[in-house]
Amino acid sequence: MIQKRKKDGDTVAIDITPGKKTLVAGALLPIHIEEVDHIYYLSIKTIIANPYMMIPYQTQQINDFIEQAHKAVGQ
């Protein structure tokens, strides 16, 4: 599916927020990382026992694994 979307010129993004990061990261291993434009996850500064939509935006931060990896290797 990823290859078809990329061939069609689409941007491919995966949101791993709802899963346990270690399990999701393991599930991503078979994916060719160069085929994915973004892998997003939401981190929350303070744990609040509410659904995402009820957590104040000020405590949320959207992160992109791909962007962080590019910065780490200087691209």
pLDDT at 8: 92
Between these two residues, 1 and 4, which has the higher pLDDT value? Answer: 4
User: For the chain, how many residues are written?
Assistant: 75
pLDDT at 10: 92
3-state secondary structure at position 56: coil
d(CA 39, CA 55): 21
Mean pLDDT of all residues in 32-37: 80
User: What is the value of pTM for the model shown?
Assistant: 0.66
